Amino acid sequence: MIENIAYSVQTISNLFNSNRPGFTKSEFLSNVTTSSLEVSLGSLFIPLIGNRDGHTFIKDSLERGASAFLYEKKNPSIQSLTKAELNKGIEVQNTLFALGKLAKFHRERFLPFVVCITGSSGKTTTKEILGKCVSYLGAEHVVITEKNYNNEIGLPFTLLKINEKTKVCILELGMNHRYEISRMTRIAIPHSVLITNVGPCHIENLGSLKEIAKAKAEIIEGNHRTKVFIPEDIVYKEILENKAKKYSSKIYTFSLKNSKFVKVDSEDTTGFTLDIMGSKIEWKLPVQKVLENVAGCIELLLEEGFEPIGIQNGLRTFSPLNSRNVIIEKEIKIIDDCYNANPDSMKSSLESLLQIAGENKSYAILGDMKELGEFSKRYHKEIGYFCSTKKISGLIAFGNDSYYLYNEYKKSNSNCYYFEDKDNSILELVAVIKSIASKGDVVLVKGSRSMKMERIVDALVKQF
């Protein structure tokens, strides 16, 4: 990743309490990057340690024109550097944490309104909704997390986009383990935070819903007296309330049912007609759960003094991101919801499938839900049972653990099929859909990112 900056090398050196003779006060940095391939004259190269150790590319970054680099003292790659090369280096304890420190230093130089969003599901869509709601301010005044850059690498690069024109910064915070959100929110220093839900996403690493709630509650640690927006029915609410009390933060709850600002006037196969603060809006995203997060976004923005008419106009232009409930119109309707999956988002997408299908038949092609660990069998069976309670016309399970889903569903419905995750299985799977689906029927395709369910979407598009 790369982002433009305008700091002297000496400023960065001082930030990390380093004093190298290779730096001059007049030398300025033009950008910061974690990839030596992106290095140009004036770059600050930050070598991160992941699948590969970025320290092994320090020499390459210097050859490409890097003015400075960070490094961890005990890294073996440092031993191969010449004295002149090492003089371009700034020693830090941890290069990932140093990237965060640089981003925090930059963020604190400016005064935008900062909001952070987390949750087990729905956080990316909620981030995009918030972005649309404040779009009336103008694109040059809004910084928002791009794509899925919601981790300890992506967050700092988003913060480095802030400048003197930035009025609002909207940040999505994801996590796999405890304390990741704690570190990120302390870098971001948010004024308000919104938690979409607490569900069994990453339960393989966290161990229980209670521990997941504790991890999500870390978002409150970034700033004392933060305004905290949570759903009324969120599980382990007391954990969030206790954390808010510790940080002198105020809890605000939201729900669609009790919202003063959002009402559902009607719904059909294309979505909803909403009454948002007295204005009628056609909402072309037939996912009921998302509407609760719309209510949360509006509660937050009104509390912070944003303009109602600007919020309304922004919501009129909202559309889902690629692979998130995107409807592909062919002889059948294909719902591309391949971006990711966990038990809560599976249930939400299945409800959406039924709404979109209306009087037509509905079929679900469901892949494995990952990162459930020892709980995988339990949650796949739970989704199988959930499907059996709905008026779904048929089910196709795809992947190893999805067999539990299939096995549970077939106890009450024989119109189901199971396929292993193999390329030739996709052709067989599509052949099944060709044999059972008719014109106008609706097929949902959903599974975890690593399942690459878009392969199935592509195959269906070609066949229909």
Q: Is the pLDDT of residue 254 over 90?
A: yes
User: 23 or 398, which is more confident?
Assistant: 398
Are the CB atoms for 79 and 135 separated by under 8 Å?
no
Distance CA 173, CA 148 (A): 9
pLDDT at 224 over 80: yes
The CATH number assigned to the domain holding 245 equals 3.40.1190.10
- What is the DSSP annotation of 158-205? HHTT--TT--EEEEE---SSTTHHHHHHHHH--SEEEE----STTHHH
Per-residue pLDDT, 233: 96
**Residue 220 predicted with pLDDT over 80:** yes
Q: List pLDDT tens digits, range 358-372.
A: 999 999 999 999 999
Please report whether residue 101 resides in a domain: no
Question: CA–CA separation, 449 vs 270, rounded Å?
Answer: 26
Same domain, 287 and 262: yes
pLDDT of residue 122: 92
Decide if 374 is inside a domain: yes
If asked whether residues 74 and 20 sit together in one domain, one would say yes
Mean pLDDT of 309-327: 89
* Residues with Cβ within 8 Å of residue 357, at least 6 apart in sequence: 269, 333, 441, 442
pLDDT band at 23 (very low <50, low <70, confident <90, very high): low
Q: Is residue 4 over pLDDT 70?
A: yes
**Tens-place pLDDT, residues 141-155:** 999 999 889 999 999
What span, in angstroms and rounded, lies between the C-alpha atoms of 273 and 282? Answer: 5
Q: How confident is the model at residue 25 (pLDDT cuts 50, 70, 90)?
A: low
On whether both 358 and 231 belong to a single domain, the answer is no
Between the alpha carbon of residue 143 and those of residues 140, 166, 307, 341, 456, the distances in Å are 8, 7, 18, 27, 34
Min mean pLDDT across 30-39, 280-289, 319-328, 385-394 is at 319-328
CA distance 393 to 413: 9
* Residue 24, pLDDT above cutoff 70: no
Percentage of the chain with pLDDT > 90? 92
- What mean pLDDT comes out for the span 286-294? 93
For residue 99, is it within any domain? Answer: no
pLDDT in tens, 427-447: 999 999 999 999 999 999 999
- Counting the structural domains of the chain, the total is 3
Judge whether 418 and 395 are in contact, CB under 8 Å. no
Which residues have a Cβ under 8 Å from the Cβ of 153 and sit 6 or more positions away? 1, 34, 48, 96, 99
CA distance 157 to 359: 47
**100 part of a folded domain:** no
* Higher per-residue pLDDT: 323 or 160: 160
Determine the average pLDDT of the residues in 223-252.
97
User: Quick one: average pLDDT of 218-224?
Assistant: 97
Note whether 217 and 241 are within 8 A (CB): no
Provide the mean pLDDT of the chain: 95
Which of 258-262, 286-290, 338-342 shows the highest mean pLDDT?
258-262
CB 236 within 8 A of CB 246: no
Q: Are residues 285 and 263 in the same domain?
A: yes
CATH (domain of 432): 3.90.190.20
Q: What is the per-residue pLDDT for 456?
A: 96
pTM over 0.85: yes
pLDDT at 148: 84
- Rounded to an integer, the average pLDDT of 228-232 is 98
* Residue 81 maps to a domain: yes
156 in the same domain as 89: no
Whether residue 392 sits in one domain with residue 291: no
Q: For position 346, what pLDDT does the model report?
A: 96
> Quick one: 291 and 349 in the same domain?
no
- Residue 105 counted as domain residue: no
Q: State whether residue 258 is helix, strand or coil.
A: coil
Last residue of a domain, one of 65, 93, 121: 93
- Ramachandran angles phi, psi of 167, nearest 5°: -105, -30
The secondary element (H helix, E strand) that includes residue 446 is strand 442-446
Q: What CATH number corresponds to the domain at position 47?
A: 3.40.1390.10
Residue 103: inside a domain: no
DSSP secondary structure, 74-110, as one string: T-GGGGGS-HHHHTTEEEES-HHHHHHHHHHHHHTTS
Compute the Cα dihedral for 246, 250, 256, 257 and give only its sign: positive
164 and 69 belong to one structural domain: no
Note whether 116 and 243 are same-domain residues: yes
Task: Provide the domain limits for residue 76.
Answer: 2-93
Q: What is the DSSP letter of 66?
A: -
For residue 22, name the pLDDT band (cuts at 50, 70, 90): low
Residues 115 and 72 placed together within one structural domain of the fold: no
Claim to verify: residue 164 and residue 279 sit in the same structural domain: yes
Is residue 47 a part of any domain in this protein? yes
Contacts of 101 (CB under 8 A, 6+ apart): 15, 16, 187
pLDDT > 70: percent of the chain: 98
* C-alpha–C-alpha distance, residues 222 and 213, integer Å: 16
Contact predicate 152/100, CB 8 Å: yes
Residue finishing a domain among 273, 290, 316: 316
Looking at 267, 285, 316, which one is the last position of a domain?
A: 316
Same-domain pairing of 51 and 175: no
Q: State the Cα torsion 232-238-241-246 to the nearest 10°.
A: -170
